[in-house]
Amino acid sequence: MSAKILLALDHIEGIASLPVYAQHGGYAVLKKVLSDISPQQVVEEVKISGLRGRGGAGFPTGLKWSFLARPEGVPRYLVCNADESEPGTFKDRYLMERNPHLMIEGMIISSYGLGANTAYIYIRGEYFYIARILEKAIKEAYAAGYLGKNILNSGFDLDLHVHVGAGAYICGEETALLESLEGKRGNPRIKPPFPAVQGLYNCPTVVNNSETLAAVVPILDKGGAAYAAIGIGKSTGTKLISASGHINRPGVYEIELGIPVEEFIYSDEYCGGIRNGKKLKAVVAGGSSVPILPADLILKTAEGAPRLMSYESLAEGGFQTGTMMGSGGFIVMDEDTSIVKNLYTFARFYHHESCGQCSPCREGTGWMERILHKILDGHGSITDIDLLWDIQKNIDGKTICPLGEAAAWPVASAIRHFRSEFEEYVLNPHLIEDVKHYYRLQTT
């Protein structure tokens, strides 16, 4: 298998329509699975593949599936998390827009493996036009007999529906998503019970990211072992990376896990280097939540080994010198970038998106935003930098859901690696050009 698995067909004209998708082998895997493979084997193949959740957490998908409770007479649900809201991430959008049937086929196979007869695609409200694309594709799949009752005479029934959200980052957290799907505020639930036991409508539920579910198709096509042979170590298969910021070729790239970060940034096959001949300053490698790394630490580990695009290599060095793969939202910053201002956009984001349930997050995110605003406004002091450090530390690990950590880590890593830049802002406020006007009008 080449590195192009999920995006192998994305360049083909009309691939979003079922006839064209079918011409290129679409739904052949579903047919094979329903006639030759048992649901247990589907779960087994996904386990063997080593596929990890592509939404950000990187939890082994097969293992997650194996936790699904199967009490007699209780419906089970599969929910696709297409709420893609992590700043820097736009791969699911690309995947669903270009090749919606791949994910739908993956969902049908997954539902068969899990014994779910109803599945939902929870998509962020702003992606209305993609919801329309998915609805059209689902209609085609029903008409072709791939959805509905007794699919391809297998005796397996599945209904699949698109459900739009309405603008809330927190609904990408799986229990908040389920609350939202039930028509409530997106407040995360306390775990346990996990969704695998009590999820949607209190029934056993699996929630998987769009890319994860699409990857189920190639896994069942060539087998879990073939998929596991791609990649490096426990980072098996391919990953969609959303590349943005100061690069020559922003976009969505499918990479074999394990290629060097340096190659990803500078190769013309991917980002194509830094825009305008500038130097690289820093990278946020996995979406806004993961620690920012300066150029030297993103290209090489603290030990001097080349840093690779894999779950393990990106995390090497822990939070002192490493980061995380996260959602694969790869944001590149050139030498002229203000790390403090960039952090401010993150802090403002997390303040806006905190659901307000846990006080460390509700109060802390706003507090961090206000301090950063004060620093950018030329009124900061050295003690404010220490205060920021203190606040993030008191959010980290003290909230029901991971939004707390997501808000804390960018602050911690920016101070850890770029403290001198914060000090510069505080000690030389007259050097701060033009931020006052802009940041006043942008504060909510």
Partner 1 sequence: MHNMNETNMTSQSQLQFSEARMAEIRELLTHYPENQSRSALIPILHMAQSDFGGWLSVPVMDYVASVLNLLPIQVYEVASFYSMFNLKPVGNYLIEVCRTSSCWLCGAEDITAHLENKLGIKVGQTTADGLFTLKAVECLGSCGTAPMMQVGANYYENLTISKVDSILEELKKENKYSRYC
Q: How far is the CB of 63 from partner 1 (least distance, A)?
A: 28
- Per-residue tokens: 133: 């694309």
By CB under 8 A, which span of 177-185, 230-238, 376-384, 425-433 interacts with partner 1?
Answer: 177-185
- Per-residue tokens: 393: 């530390």
Residue bearing tokens 């739009």? 164
Give dist(CA 154, CA 142) in Å, integer.
15
Burial of 123 (0-12, 13-18, 19+ CB in 10 A): buried
**Binding of partner 1 by 169 (CB under 8 A):** yes
Answer for the pair 369, 385: CB distance below 8 angstroms, yes or no: no
Q: Where are the beta strands (DSSP E) in 229-304?
A: 231-232, 235-236, 238-245, 251-256, 280-284, 292-294
List the one residue from 345, 377, 387, 424 that touches partner 1 (CB under 8 A). 345
Binding mask of the shown chain, residues 38 to 77, with x at each position contacting partner 1 by CB under 8 A: -------------------------------------x--
Q: How far is the CB of 90 from partner 1 (least distance, A)?
A: 4
Q: Where are the beta strands (DSSP E) in 138-248?
A: 159-164, 205-209, 231-232, 235-236, 238-245
Give dist(CA 181, CA 187) in Å, integer.
11
List the one residue from 3, 121, 137, 243 that touches partner 1 (CB under 8 A). 243
**Binding of partner 1 by 167 (CB under 8 A):** yes
**Binding of partner 1 by 289 (CB under 8 A):** no
Q: Is the dihedral of CA 297, 301, 307, 310 positive or negative?
A: negative
**Binding of partner 1 by 400 (CB under 8 A):** no
**Binding of partner 1 by 404 (CB under 8 A):** no
List the one residue from 23, 35, 128, 383 that touches partner 1 (CB under 8 A). 128
List the one residue from 4, 136, 163, 234 that touches partner 1 (CB under 8 A). 163
List the one residue from 61, 288, 354, 357 that touches partner 1 (CB under 8 A). 288
Please name the residue ranges forming H helices in 308-429: 311-315, 318-321, 339-353, 359-376, 382-395, 403-427
- Per-residue tokens: 109: 């196979």
Identify any residues that bridge with 161 across adjacent strands, giving them in sequence order.
Answer: 120
List the one residue from 43, 219, 255, 333 that touches partner 1 (CB under 8 A). 333
**Binding of partner 1 by 149 (CB under 8 A):** no
Rg (CA), the chain: 22
Helix (H) or strand (E) holding 31: helix 28-36
Cβ proximity to partner 1: between 431 and 441 the closer is 441
List the one residue from 205, 209, 238, 244 that touches partner 1 (CB under 8 A). 244
Give the number of residues in contact with partner 1, rule: CB under 8 A: 61
**Binding of partner 1 by 164 (CB under 8 A):** yes
Q: How far is the CB of 20 from partner 1 (least distance, A)?
A: 24
Q: How far is the CB of 203 from partner 1 (least distance, A)?
A: 9
| Residues near partner 1, by CB under 8 A | 75, 84-90, 92-93, 120, 124-129, 159, 161, 163-169, 180-186, 201, 242-246, 250-252, 284, 288, 329, 331, 333, 337, 341-342, 345-346, 348-349, 352-353, 355, 438, 441-442, 444
